[in-house]
Amino acid sequence: MKYLWIFLVLAEGMFFSAKGQNNQSYTDVLLLMGSRFEITAVSSDKDKAQQAIQAGITEIQRIEDLISSWDPNSQTSAIVANAGIGPVQVDQELFNLIRRSLKISRLTHGAFDISYASMDKIWKFDGSMTDMPDSATVAASVSKINFNNIILDAKNRTVFLKEKGMKIGFGAIGKGYAANKALSLLSTMGLDGALVNASGDLISWGKDAGGKEWKIGIANPKNKEQIYSWLTISETAVVTSGNYEKFVEFKGERYSHIIDPRTGYPVKGLSSVSIICPDAELADALATSVFVLGKEKGLELINQLNGIECILVTDDQKLITSQHLQLEYQETNNKN
C-alpha cells in the first residue's frame, strides 16, 4: 500500500453543473497492470459515461499487452529475450515510449533507468535482513543496468539490449503512460469531466460532478487525518511515489524500497514524492527519479523544470514543496 497522504476530493451524488446539467460522476474500479485503477466519467448521460469508461479500460489493457514484462508474448518480452543477441522490431508506440524513457535517464543522469529491471533482488523489505550486504555483492547486483546499452534504431524501429542478461521494465513510467492515454481518450467522448486514478497516480480533465475544478486535499504528514492544504488539479497529473511501509533498517537508519540503480543501495531521506505536471507519464517517471536523487538534488531538478512541481515528505515527516507550487492553505487546519 502506498502511504496515502493525498486525498482525492470527489463531489458525491448528483449536482447541477455550471452548465445547468444534471451531472453525475460514475466510477469503475478494477485491477489493470497489476494496480488498482479507478476510472471516473462525469456526465448527465449514464450510457455515455459507461461507454467512455469501457473505452478507457480497453485502452489500458491494450497498453498493458504492449509493455508487460510478465506476458511472454509481449513485444517487451521479445526485446528482453533477445538481449545480447540482436535487435527486435517493435511498434512505433513502444519504440517512442522507450525513446522517452531514455530521455528521462539522460535528464536524471541515470537515476531513472528502465534497465533497472535487470537488478538482482538482494534487498529484502520483510524484516529478514539483519546486515548490509557486502559492497561487491551490491555492485554486482546492478552491473547490467545501463541505459546507454539500450540501442535504438529509428529507421528500422528496433530495440537492442547490448548485453546478455539485460532486462527492461516500465514499472516507473507505464502506469502514467496508460493514464495519459486513457484520459485523453475519455476527453474526446462528450463528457463534462474525467479522472483516472492508478493507485494514487491521478490525472484529470474537465470538471467534477459539481461543475468545479478537480481538487485534492494534501494530508498533514504529522497527522494524516488532517487536511494540510488544497490543490487544484484541473487538467493536471499528480503522481506519488513512495511506500511508507516497505523499508529496511540498519543501525537505526531507515532505507526505502527504492534502490539507486547507479549504486545498488536503497535510497534514504524521503518517504514520499509527488510530482504535479500536465503529463502523467512524465510525472510518474520523475516521481521515481526524485526519490532516487534525494531531497536536495531532486528539488534542484524540479525547480529547473518549467511547469513541473513537487511535494516531498521527508523521513522525519517534513513537507517540502518546489519553488512555484501554489497550495491553498487551510488556516483552520494548519495551526500545529
Q: Can residue 144 be called a binding residue for ligand ADP (CB under 6 A)? A: no
Using the rule CB under 6 A, give the single segment among 65-73, 112-120, 183-191, 213-221 that binds ligand ADP: 112-120
As a whole number of Å, the CA-based R_g of the chain is 21
Report if residue 68 touches ligand ADP, rule: CB under 6 A.
no
Q: Residue 135 gets which letter from DSSP?
A: H
64 binds Mg ion (CB under 5 A): no
Nearer to ligand ADP, 117 or 194 (CB): 117
In the complex with Mg ion, which residue's Cβ is closer, 11 or 282? 282
Query: According to CB under 6 A, which residues from 247 to 286 bind ligand ADP?
Result: 258, 261
The span from the CA of 287 to the CA of 201, in Å, is: 10
Task: Considering only residues 191 through 210, tell me which ones interact with ligand ADP, judged by CB under 6 A.
Answer: 199
> How many positions of this chain bind ligand ADP (CB under 6 A)?
16
Angle at 234 between CA 240 and CA 49, to 5 degrees: 100
Cα–Cα distance, 46 to 136 (Å, whole number): 59
Q: Which is nearer to ligand ADP, 194 or 287 (CB)?
A: 287
What value, to the nearest 5°, has the Cα angle with vertex 258 and ends 75 and 271?
135
Rounded CA separation 255/271 (Å): 9
Q: Which of 291, 315, 287 lies closest to 222 in space, CA to CA? A: 315
310: contact with ligand ADP by CB under 6 A: no
275 binds, among ligand ADP, Mg ion, none (CB under 5 to 8 A by kind): none
> Does 302 participate in binding ligand ADP (rule CB under 6 A)?
no
- In the complex, the smallest distance separating the C-beta of residue 240 from Mg ion, rounded to whole angstroms, is 8
Closest to Mg ion by CB, 42 vs 104, is: 104
Residue nearest to Mg ion (CB): 284
Site string for Mg ion, 151-190 (x = CB under 5 A): ----------------------------------------
Grid cell for residue 253: 537508519
DSSP-assigned letter for residue 225 = E
- What is the distance between the terminal CA atoms of the chain, rounded to a whole angstrom? 27
**Of the candidates 79, 284, 299, 313, which one interacts with Mg ion according to CB under 5 A?**
284
- Burial class, 259, CB count within 10 angstroms (exposed 0-12 / middle 13-18 / buried 19+): buried
Contacts of 105 (CB under 8 A, 6+ apart): 112, 113, 114, 147
| Position 114 contacts ligand ADP (CB under 6 A) | yes
Strand pairing report for 270-277 and 328-329 = unpaired
**Contacting residues toward ligand ADP, per CB under 6 A:** 2, 111-114, 116, 169, 171-172, 199, 241, 258, 261, 287-288, 292
